[in-house]
Amino acid sequence: MVFPQKQTQKYHFNALRNDRPSLCGICCQPVGGLLFYRDEKWFGACSRACQAKLKEGKTLEQMAQLSEKGLEHAIVRAREKYIKLNKESNGETMSKALHEWQAEHRRALFTTLVREYLDYAIAQARNGVDGSNEI
């Protein structure tokens, strides 16, 4: 099925197939189905209220923070995937140079690392942080 396109605007189901916003452009909450197009860019919104703020020209005021424990959690959780992909890319020689890996294996490893980090961050947001190493 071919969808008509206007000359002045890209439709989100074509332009955002592989790069859809996952966080709200105002409050950094997960995005539902709401999007807003401005200045030839798509912004995600978690609610109609945030979408209205985007329409007014406002954007995210917060800056992301890295959790060192979250990063460590992601590295530990991705270890098995690293070993498996390293063997698939390089055989039993287990090369440690990522640039020698096949592109799809590098992508899979980084996807796993990011997903594990975000899972940790989501668990922190849901459960709070109490100083323990458990999430």
Instruction: Specify if 133 maps to a domain.
Output: no
Residues 48 and 16 in one domain: yes
3-state secondary structure of 43: strand
3-state secondary structure of 111: helix
Kindly report the CA angle at 70 between 64 and 75, in degrees rounded to 5? 120
Residues 48 and 72 in one domain: no
Residues in the chain: 135
Confidence (pLDDT) at 7: 41
Q: Which residues pair with 44 in a beta bridge?
A: 24, 35
3-state secondary structure of 23: strand
| Domain that residue 97 falls in | 68-127
- Is 29's pLDDT higher than 90? no
Confidence (pLDDT) at 17: 65
Average pLDDT over every residue of 38-56: 88
- Is 102's pLDDT higher than 90? no
Distance CA 25, CA 27 (A): 6
What percent of the chain is predicted at pLDDT more than 70? Answer: 70
Residues 74 and 106 in one domain: yes
Count the domains in the chain.
Answer: 2
Contact 30, 22 (CB under 8 A): yes
Q: For residue range 48-86, what is the model confidence (pLDDT) as tens digits?
A: 999 999 899 888 765 667 788 888 888 888 888 888 888
> Element (H or E) spanning 73, and its range?
helix 68-90
